[in-house]
Structure 1
Amino acid sequence: MCRSVLLVLVLLTGGLSGLWAGSVHAAAEDLADALANTRALAGVFEQRLLDSDDTVIEASRGSFALQRPGKFRWDYEQPYVQQVISDGQTLWHYDRDLAQVTVRSVGTALSGTPAALLSGATELDDSFVVRELEPGRYGLEPKAAEAEFESATVELEDGVVTALDIQDALGQRTRIEFFDVARNVSFKAGWFEFEPPPGVEVVGEAGL
């Protein structure tokens, strides 16, 4: 999973309420409130990677579950079976076809990306320019010159995130749309934990 998509997950599940508790532009207040008031989300997603001509390079779909703070489960069902799961501290990426699990700490996975700025270490206004593009649609632009993406757009409907767009420096765009979304649902114990299946290769950071 690319780092820009990890930004999406942290944006939805990270400590945004604390991050945005300080001074924010009026354009960001509605977005901040909607995200802070959403404790959990679950549903299905469709993800597309598009080139500069908006031609689809690859497409995938599956189900998702998010729980603040920092927990998420991304189950890819098409075209390949993969899982990306975080318990808020450890990130597991399981590729069934490769029979491989990659293990990283969430901090390491997001190190050097704008997602790290959303963990609560800095004020939003220090790192992003936030604009209301139109009602229910908000744009974020990183201020750092070394940022790995150029812009991100969050779309809301009735206070629920319905789509996200991330534009990278190469002219490619990742768009994720959410459907059949249930808000503030409860998850069974262990839903955001992962145990590697027997026989798979486990690679990653020692001690995780």
Structure 2
Amino acid sequence: MKKLLFVLGTVLLSNTVLFSQTAFAANQAAELKNKLARLYSYQASFQQTVVDAKNQPVQEQGEGVLTLKQPSQFRFETLSPEPNLFIGDGKTLWHYNELLEQVSLYDAKKEVNRTPFVLLTSNDASLWAQYEVSGEGQQFIITPKDKDNPVRQLVLTFAGTGLSHMAVLDNNGQKTDFEFLAIQNNINIDSSLFKFEVPAGVEVDDLRNK
């Protein structure tokens, strides 16, 4: 009888711990959702560093500008060490490589499902269900449930309303850190920033239906 009671007690304790962990994760996800919902627009310059799995620099420090606007609009522009531009309007994702004089077009919904970046400007429950959220205080750790996701982990750190730091760890162990500067929260941002006009002479690779 004592052994049976011990087993039952262990099972109950394990279930209680599991329930507590699940509830905590749900609370963290809800808190992050609330923070992002209050951030209907965001713009900041950033300094970017990239290191490999051995913490060795992969490239020289980069600089650029990140702009977000609810719902599902973003503009990620790297100015150095080489120019690169990603723009999403919720339907189409453009990637413009200025040095190669090439722009690639993707179906935004297909692409954003593969990265937790989409959570920054989306409250879509079906997307949030694909990720686990943990963390403490002003820092949140987003982990894809799909092990085939190229992003292993996304860490967001807030200072008040705005995003102050972001770190991306990929499946190869490469880590990219973004330190945000000159932060502007909830300002008026023209939606034209989230549209891309293809420059003359630039090669277009339309992958939206592939």
The TM-score range, normalised by the shorter chain, is: 0.7 to 0.9
Match of 2:31 in 1: 30
Residue by residue over 1:43-97, the C-alpha shift from the partner in whole angstroms, topping out at 9 and shown as x without a partner, is 2012222112222212321112110111111222111122211122111111111
Cα contact 2:50–2:177 (8 A) shared by 1: yes
| CA distance in structure 1 between the aligned counterparts of 2:68 and 2:117, rounded to whole angstroms | 18
**CA pair 31-54 structure 1, distance change in 2 beyond 3 A:** same
Cα contact 2:88–2:194 (8 A) shared by 1: yes
| CA distance in structure 2 between the aligned counterparts of 1:56 and 1:30, rounded to whole angstroms | 34
What is the Cα deviation at residue 206 of structure 1? 6.3
| CA distance in structure 2 between the aligned counterparts of 1:80 and 1:116, rounded to whole angstroms | 22
Do structure 1's residue 129 and structure 2's residue 132 form an aligned pair? yes
| CA distance in structure 1 between the aligned counterparts of 2:127 and 2:173, rounded to whole angstroms | 28
| TM-score normalised to structure 2 length | 0.77
What is the Cα deviation at residue 121 of structure 1? 5.1
**Higher helix proportion (structure 1 or 2):** 2
What is the Cα deviation at residue 129 of structure 1? 2.7
Code of the residue aligned with 2:132 in structure 1: it is: V
| CA distance in structure 2 between the aligned counterparts of 1:140 and 1:165, rounded to whole angstroms | 10
Structure 1 range deviating more: 144-153 or 192-201: 144-153
Structure 2: where are the runs of 5+ without partners? 1-23
| CA distance in structure 2 between the aligned counterparts of 1:148 and 1:139, rounded to whole angstroms | 16
Q: SS at 2:194's partner residue?
A: coil
Of structures 1 and 2, the larger Rg is shown by: 2
Question: Which residue of 86, 92, 95 maps to 1:93?
Answer: 95
Q: Following superposition of structure 1 onto structure 2, how do residues 155-170 of structure 1 map, counting pairs within 5 Å?
A: 155-170=157-172
Q: Following superposition of structure 1 onto structure 2, how do residues 9-158 of structure 1 map, counting pairs within 5 Å?
A: 25-58=26-59, 59-111=61-113, 113-115=114-116, 118=119, 120=124, 122=126, 124=128, 126-132=129-135, 134-158=136-160
| CA distance in structure 1 between the aligned counterparts of 2:86 and 2:117, rounded to whole angstroms | 18
Cα contact 1:117–1:127 (8 A) shared by 2: no
Count residues in correspondence. 182
What is the Cα deviation at residue 123 of structure 1? 6.5
Cα contact 2:44–2:67 (8 A) shared by 1: yes
Q: SS at 1:27's partner residue?
A: helix
Question: Cα RMSD over matched residues?
Answer: 2.4
Code of the residue aligned with 2:180 in structure 1: it is: F
| CA distance in structure 2 between the aligned counterparts of 1:188 and 1:146, rounded to whole angstroms | 36
| CA distance in structure 1 between the aligned counterparts of 2:79 and 2:162, rounded to whole angstroms | 23
* Higher RCO (C-alpha 8 Å, min separation 6): 1
Q: SS at 1:122's partner residue?
A: helix
Cα contact 1:141–1:152 (8 A) shared by 2: yes
Structure 1: where are the runs of 5+ without partners? 1-22
**CA pair 82-114 structure 1, distance change in 2 beyond 3 A:** closer
Code of the residue aligned with 2:201 in structure 1: it is: G
Match of 1:5 in 2: none
Do structure 1's residue 174 and structure 2's residue 180 form an aligned pair? no
Cα contact 1:43–1:181 (8 A) shared by 2: yes
Cα contact 1:129–1:141 (8 A) shared by 2: yes
